[in-house]
Every structure is written in structure tokens, then in C-alpha cells.
A and B are shown apart, each in its own frame.
Chain A
Amino acid sequence: MSQEHAFVLPNSGHNFDAKSSKMGMWLFLYTELLLFGGLFLVYMIYRYLNQDAFLLASFELNVWMGATNTIVLLTSSMTIAMAITALQKGNKKLSITLSWVTIAAAIVFLVIKYFEWGAKFEHGYFPGMDHYNELPHGERLYFYLYFFMTGLHAVHVIVGAVFILFVIRGIQKGKVTKDRYSLLENSGLYWHLVDLIWIYLFPLFYLIH
């Protein structure tokens, strides 16, 4: 007990600071934007150099699966935003439900992605496979970027879903509450970033014909 007056241990739960916590999360998100920004630069240059090949290769993607996934992600972004509103208003139960809906959406997204990637694997489009090796240079670049960028994005989806799962436990245990919702807010911010990146990935890989 006497230790409380001496100093506050890091991560002891007694040095909670909502504003800094949010600011730290945003700083991290800015670096994430630049990470994907760099990849978009690579995409831009190679697309400019191989316009016809990129166009041809993009026809291999299923626009409807991509569009469904876009809608799934946008909807999950709304539910996690609403989960924050619910917790701020003191509705713990609704907040937990909405967070679960968000995780369910993440799983739906990954299942659709699994089938999409599965179809590409079957046709041998993954870098290193026989069919991939026979493709012209430009189309190989397209599929390489497609797998790398959507793959890195999928990793973010998994991390975001695990983060939200962790927060749900926090709400249930009473560690994340109406007065102390930073963790939920930060997991929401991360989830919105996942959505934000997909907003650019979708038209760049699926739509431009």
C-alpha cells in the first residue's frame, strides 16, 4: 500500500492516461499509413510501366467477392464505431454484442479471402507456381503485388480481430468501462485503419478496367 505513494509502476494499471493513449495509437496509425503508402508507390510505378498486363491480370479477380468484402468491412467499421457509442452511453451489453458482430465480420472477410486465394492457387497464380512462372513479366508483377498487399492487409484484419477480442474480455471483466473506454476506442481506430486501407486496395486491384 505504501508503495502507491512512492511511484507508479508502468503497466500497473494505476497510470491510466486516456489522451496520451489515443495519441500514441494515432501516431502508430500514421506509420501504418506510410507503410502501405510505400507499397502503393511500388504499385503505381509498375502499373504505369505495365498498363496492359495489369489490366489483363485484373480480370482474373472476382469483382463480386471483392465488393462483398468491401461491404462487410464497411459494415464492421460501423458496428465497432457504434460499440464505442454504446459503451460511452453505459450500455455494456450492446457494446459487447456490437464488438462480436465486428469480429464475425472479420471472420466472414477472411473466409471470402480464403476462397478467393484458393481459386488463384488452383490456377497456379501464386508466385513460384508453374502457371505464374509462365506469365508475362507485367502480370507476374501484378499477382506478386496482389498477394503481398492483400496478404499484409489480411494480417491486419487478424490482428484487429484479436485486439477487439481482447477488449471484449476487458469489458466483461470491468476493466474497460463507460469512464475508461480508451482500449475499445483504440481497437476501433485500428479496425478503421484496416477498413481505410481496403478502401484503396479494392478499386486498385479489382475495379480499374
Chain B
Amino acid sequence: MASKENNNVHPEHEHISSYKEHFGTWVGLILLTLMTVFVSAFGADLSTLTVVTALTIATIKALAVALYFMHLKYEPKVYRAWIIVVMALFLFFLTMVILDFTTR
């Protein structure tokens, strides 16, 4: 049971994110959201929000949520490595679907 004791409480050096950091992340996320909405709503004739732009901005937002809100930045490397594995798997599926689609 001795080895279990270590896990019973969170270690002292566990990272605690500050309120300020969370608030800053929120401000960034809101600004990006408002930007995309206004471009889409008012600039639709001039500058069309393309799929690529929309997905790039969405990915930046998703990264901000994962790194700061979900504390991924402060987790052991293995968590980030797994994210890459999941992405690779998704890209594999995507490639297979595209291959299937284009070679029919």
C-alpha cells in the first residue's frame, strides 16, 4: 500500500492556473469569435470566409482551449503525444475517404 500513498493527494508541485490566465484566454477566444462572425455577417460580399480560414481560426481557438483551459500545457508530454496520435488517426481516415472518393 505504500506506493498508493503517493497518489492519494495531488502533489504539491501540481500547476495551478491563475484566474488572470483563464481570463486572458477567454478574451482571446471571444475576440477571434467576434472577428469571424463580423467578417461572415458584413463582409460576405467582399471577403468570403473560406473553409480554410474558418478551420484555421477554429483550430487556433481549439488549441487555446486545450492548452490553457484544459491545462494540456502543464501536463506530462504523453498527453500531447496522444493528441498527435489522434490527429494522425483522423488524417489517416481523411486520406482513406478521399482516396476512396477519387478512385471510384
Contact = CB atoms under 8 A, between A and B. Distances in A.
The answer on A and B forming one complex is yes
A189 B83 CA distance: 14
Interface residues of B, number: 48
Contacts of A26: 79, 82
A209 interface: yes
Chain A binding surface, main DSSP class: helix
B48 A78 contact: no
Nearest to B44: A209
Contacts, number: 119
Given A181-B10, A192-B66, A207 B37 contact: yes
Contact of B82 (A30, A74, A202, A204): A30
Contact of B70 (A38, A45, A189, A203): A189
Interface stretch (A15-23, A117-125, A135-143, A150-158): A15-23
Interface of B: 4, 7-10, 14, 16-19, 22-23, 25-26, 29-30, 33-34, 36-37, 40-41, 44, 48-51, 54-55, 57-58, 61-62, 65-66, 68-70, 79, 82-83, 86, 89-90, 93-94, 97, 101
